[in-house]
Amino acid sequence: MIAARWARARGVAQARFDPRWSAHGRAAPFKCNDEMLDDKFAATGVVLFGGNGVALNLGQKAEAKGLTVMRVADPAKTPADG
């Protein structure tokens, strides 16, 4: 919501993508990644916060399409946390 408000205040185009759980079941977040990367707003890059499987999948697919991927590490984790 914060990012949407920031974009709206600055006239930055935005699109919302929600997983369609009823149509895709457990694969919904991954299908949502595909929709984001194939959308008409096609970004030049993505920013990933965190490293869950869905985010990693998005990063891999974005890199495969030649997009820039920036990964933001969780500041609460130390290198020993893995």
- Reduce the secondary structure of the chain to three states and give it as a string: CHHHHHHHHHCCCCCCCCCCHHHHHHHHHHHHHHHHHHCCCCCCEEEEECCCHHHHHHHHHHHHCCCEEEEECCCCCCHHHC
Is the pLDDT assigned to residue 62 strictly greater than 70?
Answer: yes
pLDDT tens string 18-53: 999 999 999 999 999 999 888 766 678 888 887 789
Which pLDDT band, with edges at 50, 70 and 90, does 2 fall under?
confident
